[in-house]
Structure 1
Amino acid sequence: MTDSTTAASPTLVVVGGVAGGASAVTRARRMNEHATIIMFEKDEHVSFANCGLPYHVGGEIAERESLFVARPALFADRFNIDVRTRHEVVDIDRSRREVTVLNHTTGEHFRQAYDKLILAPGAAPIVPPLAGISASNVFSVRNVTDTDRINAFMTRAQPGRAVVVGAGYIGLEMMEQLHSRGVAVTLVELQPQVLPLMDPELAHMLEEEIAAHDIDLRLGDGISALVSAEGLATGVVLGSGETIDTDMVILGIGVRPSVQLAEQAGLSLGDSGGIHVNAHGQTDDPDIYAVGDACEYTFGPTGKQMRVALAGPANRAGRLAGEHAVTGSSAPVPRAWGTAIVRVFGLAAGMVGLTMSMARRSGLDARCCVVRANHHVGYYPGAQPVTLKLVYEAGTGRILGAQAVGREGIDKRIDVIATAMHFGATVHDLTALDLAYAPSFGAAKDPVHMAGFVAANDLAGTAVIMPIDSDLDGYQVLDVRSRDEVSGSALYGAPHAINIPLHELRERIAELDSAQPTVVSCASGARSYVATRILMQRGFNTVYNLSGGTLLRAHAISSISAGYSGPRPAPAPIPAPPVTGRRGD
């Protein structure tokens, strides 16, 4: 029986390939065998693994051919799709439903009619307008041609030094891969931390890993000029005035959505600068869709429209827009949650949703907790610590985001929380998850469970969290670590802390003033939780558990003295128990 929606034979034109465009045309064909489908790609390659480009430079992906997901011949033979590379759509005539196309090989312009049009132009690397920026040894990393240029230069010139500008995902990956090829790397980042999207205390863990690999890390300093000679960049001038000698420069500053074609056609842009679309990827013109890095998505934690320049959302949106364009119906494009992960030498850093910094900027009444637990049980060999930060809404317990750093198991924890967020979970739901457990894989109480327990306790008033970077002046501070631990690493910003090891607390509790607001700390937050419960049941009315403990506070406040002047968020009042009565462990 033939599906009635396939009886029509529309002409679908798709502008751009890679993730969004390639997903759109293949889904369109699977849903409508009778449509005429044409894809124009201005570059040489239509479908490649752009996320794998840095790893080809470093040699982890040895074969260049492995980068190609699909070539034009596969689109033609398997899907009956007309793919034309080196063809750039330069104009859209909405009234006539035609596009003007430039054939870069012949220089010819021609017109192509469409019934439906999908824009998937992607985003272009940000290249600052500096003198010398066009030198032949200054590179961006956007496509296979870029990696070909980088590899050819490195083979020819054998560079010993490189400056990587930008410490986002691409910058960190290129830093790692150049280092693996024996290049001395200087990493320059305008913001005061690497991976600026992440909260600073977790980013600092990455910075320590970077320093341990002898990378020259320059934070809080941008580039102001390039020094060049004979067509080559020989130095990078920082905003601070220092010049760093180099043999090559990699730009990883970020990307800018390619929206010029949409703007020329009179299509609306959203507040974040991407093409505005509805739930099915349609622009102001219902016959024109937009997917990928050039458009906006509904961001799950806030419900607002914003750009999310990641491959996952682009693939999913492209698939659904392709279906809708040739059948007139499809599921709506799902919300994007910003789930991402990056490897930095031996560490992995993953995140989903909002960081605490982003939640505050969004005006949400957010709280957070940090747990540090092994990725599998400690008695099984090879256990590695996972540092997991959970952000949640104060009133409802709705999960707003998570970040994790560690050497093993980071993707698993972030994926579990991302899945929970997709279904609108609260921190209480995390405590109830039935996760796989065997000694070599995890623990009966997984780090995800532990984060849920701590957050639920915080909301219930069972053990209220004090933010890790808080000013501890004016609080009675109790450090329940052992004497050896305290002598080896004092609690930053709390010279007045009273050290009573946890196993001695009940017999020495009279040394504390129950009338004073008290902050309890240990190495990670686990023993301090137990101590918090003891104090709260022994007449101490205002008690806080220092989230993440001494270990994370060292990352949160990387430079501290008696005159501490860092961030000083006020502790939140102890909340009332939730209406549901559900409590943490």
Structure 2
Amino acid sequence: MNMSAAGGTRERLVVIGGDAAGMSAASQARRLRGPDELEIVAFERGHFSSYSACGIPYWVGGDVAGRDELIARTPEEHRARDIDLRMRTEVTEIDVAGRRVRARDLDSGAESWTPYDKLVIATGARPIRPELPGVDAPGVHGVQTLDDGQALLDTLTGTRGRRAVVVGAGYIGVEMAEALINRGYEVTVVHRGREPMSTLDPDMGRMVHEAMEGLGITMVNDAEVTKVLTGDDGRVRAVATEDAEYPADVVVLGIGVRPETALARAAGLPLGEHGGLLTDLGMRVRGHEDIWAGGDCVEVLDLVSGQRRHIPLGTHANKHGQVIGTNAGGGYATFPGVVGTAVSKVCDLEIARTGLREKDALRAGLRFVTATIESTSRAGYYPDSSPMTVKMLAERRTGRLLGVQIVGREGAGKRVDIAAVALTAGMTVDRMTALDLGYAPPFSPVWDPVLVAARKTARVVEEQRG
């Protein structure tokens, strides 16, 4: 502890990472304890703080007017609340025994140690960058931070050619493919899976595939990128698989992300099988009373399967930060876990999932049944009603809801929240059929599509029992 101006002692909270989890934690701790009681020092290696990484594809694609629209709170705003946020400063070492961190100013190169009484690790995640020849060539981009988004936009602005290859077809890959189409690029998506969006079962991913082709995107399935080819100027010129080459003036890596836990690993902190930090319900790092971790660098408990997973989403990161800040500020809060809810879109096609896919249920050792239904977003006679497909998984013996996937047009995506609540409550599909959901023709049919799927799934469960 260090001495305050009043002659007493105050604690120092050090935060590594200036985005969602880290600055939510810092802000919440500051709400609970004033600067005379708690000094807060935060380090961020990038140029921006407290921004929406989820909005980057929409900024790149032109749906969001400018970069500043994605910034929730600037460094100056944090400093005005007595949070000493040090930008362009990278923490290079955590000394757990000495209760201090070493940081380097990325502009000057100067290094210094900062002691802490309490530590928050919110180092986020890094884009997966496969070890391929040419993958580090100019024109190849991962997209995880606002700095990454700015670098990609700079490349797009300075590139004459209009051919883009996106490697991977998860959330980032799909969203970036649409963004590049919106910017007038010819887009090819190369991915290893049978269908895009591996967060869905393949039968549901097929609908995403068809929608992407409808946008003019060339889909290359079941293909592994073997190298990135470069021109005489050293810049990317194509992406190669075993069977073909795909010309590219820019390449975006949408393969996914891994927890950024090199610092934690070097410090001997506990990591899980996915490489993320392991925490307790209060987001404390296991075995360390005064160290917390949150956001994309941690693993979370899946409430449906009972297993730990790495799910890098801003929704979780902000909740983690609130819990950490409350506990670091002297209060009490917990983060019980997740059910794996996510939504996305391709043009006007909305894509949503929560809970387990078929392969997740198999991996967890669960026996299950499935049912898929076709319905509409509104009463069939109401104008602009659009089709919707809902797939539901339930435990074979008990009928407990295990997962839901929804693909459709307007009004489809957010319906997944009904299932997310049912999963969190541990409901059976039979119990779901009696849910008292809002109804009017402009909003849904008399039987909401999620309830229609629950009815069909409940029948399948009953048939299996018989």
Tell me the TM-score range normalised by the shorter chain: over 0.9
Contact 1:8 1:35 in 2 (8 A): no
Distance 2:409 2:372 in 1: 17
- The C-alpha deviation readout for 1:256-283, integer Å capped at 9, x for no partner, is 1111111111111112221111111111
Distance 2:364 2:31 in 1: 40
- The C-alpha deviation readout for 1:109-165, integer Å capped at 9, x for no partner, is 111111110100011111122222222211111222222222222222233111100
- Residues 1:56 and 2:55 are matched in the alignment: no
Structure 1 residue matching 2:329: 3-state secondary structure: helix
Aligned match of 2:395: 393
> Which one of 283, 297, 302 corresponds to residue 300 of structure 2?
297
- The C-alpha deviation readout for 1:46-96, integer Å capped at 9, x for no partner, is 21111111111111111221021111111122x321111111111112222
Equivalent AA in structure 2 for residue 301 of structure 1 = V
Aligned match of 2:456: 454
> Which one of 267, 270, 277 corresponds to residue 265 of structure 1?
267
Aligned match of 1:138: 140
> Which one of 227, 236, 239 corresponds to residue 236 of structure 1?
239
Contact 2:48 2:87 in 1 (8 A): yes
Distance 2:10 2:435 in 1: 47
Structure 1 residue matching 2:72: 3-state secondary structure: strand
Contact 1:168 1:195 in 2 (8 A): yes
Structure 2 residue matching 1:352: 3-state secondary structure: strand
Aligned match of 1:46: 49
Alignment of 1:341-352 (within 5 A): 341-352=343-354
Distance 1:460 1:190 in 2: 37
Equivalent AA in structure 2 for residue 312 of structure 1 = T
Distance 1:101 1:326 in 2: 24
Contact 1:161 1:184 in 2 (8 A): yes
Gaps of 5+ in 2: 1-7
Distance 2:161 2:59 in 1: 17
Aligned match of 1:37: 40
Distance 1:456 1:196 in 2: 26
Aligned match of 1:326: 329
Contact 1:342 1:350 in 2 (8 A): yes
Contact 2:204 2:407 in 1 (8 A): yes
Structure 2 residue matching 1:95: 3-state secondary structure: coil
Aligned match of 1:27: 28
Equivalent AA in structure 2 for residue 21 of structure 1 = G
Contact 1:310 1:338 in 2 (8 A): no
Equivalent AA in structure 1 for residue 311 of structure 2 = V
Q: Which moved more, 1:364-373 or 1:129-138?
A: 129-138
**TM-score normalised over the length of structure 2:** 0.95
> Which one of 64, 69, 87 corresponds to residue 66 of structure 1?
69
Contact 2:407 2:413 in 1 (8 A): no
Distance 1:161 1:419 in 2: 42
Aligned match of 1:111: 113
Aligned match of 1:365: 367
Distance 2:457 2:172 in 1: 33
- Residues 1:14 and 2:15 are matched in the alignment: yes
* Deviation (angstroms), 1:362: 1.6
**Greater relative contact order structure (CA < 8 Å, 6+ sep):** 2
Equivalent AA in structure 1 for residue 45 of structure 2 = K
> Which one of 575, 578, 581 corresponds to residue 465 of structure 2?
575
- Residues 1:165 and 2:177 are matched in the alignment: no
Alignment of 1:430-441 (within 5 A): 430-441=432-443
Contact 1:12 1:326 in 2 (8 A): no
Distance 1:323 1:263 in 2: 26
* Deviation (angstroms), 1:364: 0.6
- Residues 1:353 and 2:331 are matched in the alignment: no
Distance 2:310 2:145 in 1: 20
Aligned match of 2:155: 153
Structure 1 residue matching 2:13: 3-state secondary structure: strand
Aligned match of 1:181: 183
Distance 2:284 2:214 in 1: 48
**TM-score normalised over the length of structure 1:** 0.76
Gaps of 5+ in 1: 1-6, 462-573, 577-585
* Deviation (angstroms), 1:288: 0.9
Equivalent AA in structure 2 for residue 299 of structure 1 = D
Contact 2:377 2:443 in 1 (8 A): yes
- RMSD across aligned C-alpha pairs, in angstroms? 1.5
Identity of aligned residues (%): 37
Aligned match of 1:190: 192
Structure 2 residue matching 1:70: 3-state secondary structure: coil
> Which one of 288, 298, 302 corresponds to residue 291 of structure 2?
288
Aligned match of 1:521: none
Distance 1:187 1:178 in 2: 11
Structure 2 residue matching 1:69: 3-state secondary structure: coil
Aligned match of 2:224: 222
Structure 1 residue matching 2:422: 3-state secondary structure: helix
Contact 2:28 2:329 in 1 (8 A): no
* Deviation (angstroms), 1:331: 2.3
* Deviation (angstroms), 1:175: 0.5
- The C-alpha deviation readout for 1:523-574, integer Å capped at 9, x for no partner, is xxxxxxxxxxxxxxxxxxxxxxxxxxxxxxxxxxxxxxxxxxxxxxxxxxx3
Contact 1:10 1:326 in 2 (8 A): no
- The C-alpha deviation readout for 1:300-339, integer Å capped at 9, x for no partner, is 1112222111111111111101111120x42211211111
Structure 2 residue matching 1:303: 3-state secondary structure: coil
Distance 1:313 1:423 in 2: 18
* Deviation (angstroms), 1:181: 1.4
Aligned match of 2:99: 97
Distance 1:266 1:379 in 2: 62
- Residues 1:123 and 2:152 are matched in the alignment: no
Shift in alpha-carbon separation, 1:394–1:9, aligned structure 2, 3 A: farther
Contact 2:52 2:314 in 1 (8 A): no
Q: Which moved more, 1:187-196 or 1:356-365?
A: 356-365
* Deviation (angstroms), 1:400: 1.2
Equivalent AA in structure 2 for residue 252 of structure 1 = G
- The C-alpha deviation readout for 1:241-267, integer Å capped at 9, x for no partner, is 311112111111111111111111111
Distance 1:105 1:341 in 2: 38
* Deviation (angstroms), 1:8: 8.3
* Deviation (angstroms), 1:291: 0.6
